[in-house]
Amino acid sequence: MRKDYLAFFVSMFLSRLADQILLFIVPLIVFQTTQSVSWAGLAFFVESLPRFLSFPICGALCDKFSPIRILHISQVYRAVMCIAAVVLFMIFGGIYWIVALSAVCGVLTTQGIMAREVVMPYIFKHYTYTKTLSYSQIADQTGLVLGPLIAALMLEVWAWHWVVLAIAVLFLLADLAMLFWQRTSAVTLETFEQHHDVWLNPLRIAFGHIRNLAELKKIIGLAVGVNLIIGVTLATSAAMVIGEYSAGKDYYAWLQAAGAVTTIIILFFLARVTLPLRVLGSVSYTLIAAGAFITALSPTVWGYIVGFLLIVGFDKMFNVYIRSIRQQVIPARDFGKTVGVITLLNNLSQPLAGLLVALLAAPVGTQQVILLLALATSLIGITVVAFFSKTAGMPAGYGADTDA
């Protein structure tokens, strides 16, 4: 692999590793401190909602300003916020600093995600876009593999605030890798004239594309269903493994790592094998929904593992599907702002799932909440497919023979 390609992937890996360690320790620390599934669900809601609400503005900023500079800002400021949170904890105490840190870093992570989304089509000229997505997500998922394991090892010997300082170091190393990529790459980004504001006009343009393009409406509907399952899984997995099945945090870390390994295997398969987009969409959505039913109904931890691996493993296959369609149909000059709005709409169901866990886990039970959302996801999928089958046969991309 070329040095500039490798540097970009290394930066993505380190940034994802740091972000994943933070995501791993927040619900774990909250649950271990409070022994409450509801509080863990509320913590997930608080940390996830800001990162999703910020997608439209971050997307518009990437169309208006240099996405590479925005990426640097994202990584450096996340390191600064980690250090600030530790200082505030040492002065005032309390675990709420780690929840607040996760919320702020979530917004900055969104900024970095959108910047990478905009620059990736210009970086890997020797790869197809689908292969680029597969390889970039392999780097991303490698961070997911190591993040929980490293977090668990760190928490064995350090208090959580020292782990946060280590996260700051990883963000700085990710930025150094980006600087090396800039020096070794000859990439020239295409720029477009933009309106002065980054609020109302970008939103108007983005919603105009969504209104006029049936492909975008369909993938938004399907993504809402998938993210209900992803949200409830993220919000409850620690409580299910450690609380419901009485396994330890090390077991939980290995489960997270196994999910990431499963995802990497699937992504390597997608990077080597050409599949129609309709296969990617239908297979991934169906197996994610099936995984949710298994986690909701399994009486043992082994059944939960099977369902969990189906959910997290095929989530990235679904991600390749929707990102490939977005790249095909959205005009380049409006790509950032439109993807920002789409991602917000896609992911609002994640914090909603966390809020539902916070409200319903105590009165009805955690597995019953998962079952309720699995039924909702199935209903959404059937409704969306049926609606677009009647109006347009099958939307372009989903039912076409376009290669993935």
Q: What is the pLDDT of residues 345-390, one digit of tens each?
A: 887 888 888 888 888 888 888 889 999 999 999 999 999 988 887 6
CA-CA-CA-CA torsion for 346, 391, 399, 202, nearest 10 degrees? -40
What single-letter DSSP state applies at residue 54?
A: T
61 has pLDDT over 50: yes
Residue 47 or residue 73, greater confidence: 73
180 Cβ partners below 8 Å, 6+ apart?
7
Residue 309 or residue 38, greater confidence: 309
Mean pLDDT of 302-326: 91
183 Cβ partners below 8 Å, 6+ apart?
none
* Structure confidence at residue 375 (pLDDT): 96
239 Cβ partners below 8 Å, 6+ apart?
27, 31, 37, 40, 361, 366
Phi, psi of 330 (to 5 degrees): -90, 130
Which string of DSSP letters, residue by residue, matches 216-280?
A: HHHHHHHHHHHHHHHHHHHHHHHIIIIIIS---HHHHHHHHHHHHHHHHHHHHHHHHS--BHHHH
What are 277's strand-pairing partners?
none
The proportion of the chain whose per-residue pLDDT surpasses 70, expressed as a percent, equals 91
Pick from 101, 400, 82, 352: nearest CA to 229 = 352
94 Cβ partners below 8 Å, 6+ apart?
none
